[in-house]
Amino acid sequence: MLVYTLRRIAIMIPIIFLVSVVVFFLANMMPGDALSGKIDPLNSDPQYIADMREKLGLNDPIYVQYGHWISGFLQGDFGQSFVHKLPVSELVLSRLPNTILLAVIAMFITYIVAFLMGRYAGRRPNTTGDYGVQILNYLALAMPSFVAALLLIYFVSFQLGWLPASGSIGSGIEPGTWDYIVSKIKHAVLPSLCLGLLPIASYTQFLRNDMIESAQKDYVRTARAKGTPEKKIYNKHILRNSVIPIVTLLGFDLAGIIGGSVIIETIFTYPGVGQLFIDSISNRDYTVVMAITMLLTVMTLIGNLIADILYAAVDPRIRLD
């Protein structure tokens, strides 16, 4: 198990390296360069522009530019954001906790709701209760997240005033206090709900379908033949098998939510990494774009690794040693 994990981590390194090359070259192929975001081409002196280009190393061959970038990257220097005039690391780190909070709350809501609904439907297939759950699932699957977001903002925030619709923190609240924590969580609830809509629907279906299939397996019949009560049959024998696919999805979720938050954060003007990503692309803030892309890459790889480890943890047939 340990060897397997170490081997997987070792393989991650060349993958990250390859992705960095692709990211860098793609960013460079886009119209404009680091400088065009900073200056107004009509107002500036062409000589100044040419000088600045030279100074910033933008005339060097591309592999040299790449070399500069990657060596800086490895030392923790992710460059400077042109739009915000801040080091990228500072910028991203200020946004990251918000997005992580969003991810954690979204996964929390997702797994609890999906587990309860999936178990409910899986235990009574083809009954009214089951049909009800499935209808909800289809609605959640069909509804685009931004439509859900707008509906939630209108009803919950505007009409009922229960939860705030934008930002990540109320104004004038001191960091470190209880109010601060409550306010942060309140601001994260609606965006998390929208983020979780699709996963809730798919995990509920997954669990329900797996439970129905597991209920027909031979080992369930064996357990019944031993006189095991029906409740234990479901909660122990069937569920323990059916949660396996769901648990493994946790790993993929990790990366997916950070990336998927892009639209949601924009709608809720929630200051997270996703919103920063979109803004930086439109502003041609390439250093930020590249840094966040690398971040997403690493998170996806780590997410995959976690998924594999979890899979081995819950399914004894998969232990690889």
Residue 58 β-bridge partners: none
Asked if residue 222 binds another protein (CB under 8 A), the reply is yes
Q: Which of 224, 235, 269, 320 binds another protein (CB under 8 A)?
A: 224
* CA-closest candidate to residue 264, choices 186, 184, 161, 150: 150
Helix (H, G, I), strand (E, B) or coil at 30: coil
Q: Is 203 exposed, middle or buried (0-12, 13-18, 19+ CB in 10 A)?
A: buried
DSSP strands (E only) in 146-302: none
Among residues 156 and 215, whose Cβ is nearest to another protein?
215
Asked if residue 229 binds another protein (CB under 8 A), the reply is yes
Q: How far apart are CA 261 and CA 253, in angstroms?
A: 12
CB of 230 to another protein, least distance (A): 7
- Please report how many Cα atoms fall inside a 13 Å half-sphere around the Cα of residue 192, on the Cβ side: 24
Asked if residue 248 binds another protein (CB under 8 A), the reply is no
Asked if residue 221 binds another protein (CB under 8 A), the reply is yes
Q: Which of 15, 217, 235, 320 binds another protein (CB under 8 A)?
A: 217
CB of 121 to another protein, least distance (A): 16
> Contact region for another protein (CB under 8 A) — 21-29, 137-145, 217-225, 276-284?
217-225
Q: How far apart are CA 135 and CA 236, in angstroms?
A: 27
Q: How far apart are CA 120 and CA 131, in angstroms?
A: 11
* CA-closest candidate to residue 123, choices 224, 231, 246, 226: 231
Q: Which of 52, 244, 247, 309 binds another protein (CB under 8 A)?
A: 244
Structure tokens at 303: 């997410």
Asked if residue 219 binds another protein (CB under 8 A), the reply is yes
Q: Which residues ranging from 119 to 178 are in contact with another protein (CB under 8 A)?
A: none
CB of 66 to another protein, least distance (A): 48
Q: Which of 123, 184, 237, 284 binds another protein (CB under 8 A)?
A: 237
Q: Which of 135, 240, 269, 320 binds another protein (CB under 8 A)?
A: 240
CB 27 within 8 A of CB 286: yes
Among residues 93 and 318, whose Cβ is nearest to another protein?
318
Among residues 87 and 129, whose Cβ is nearest to another protein?
129
Asked if residue 223 binds another protein (CB under 8 A), the reply is yes
Phi and psi for 320 in degrees, rounded to 5? -105, 95
Asked if residue 283 binds another protein (CB under 8 A), the reply is no
CB 278 within 8 A of CB 267: no
DSSP 283-301: TT-HHHHHHHHHHHHHHHH
CB of 125 to another protein, least distance (A): 9
List residues near another protein by CB under 8 A.
217-219, 221-230, 237, 240-241, 244, 314-317
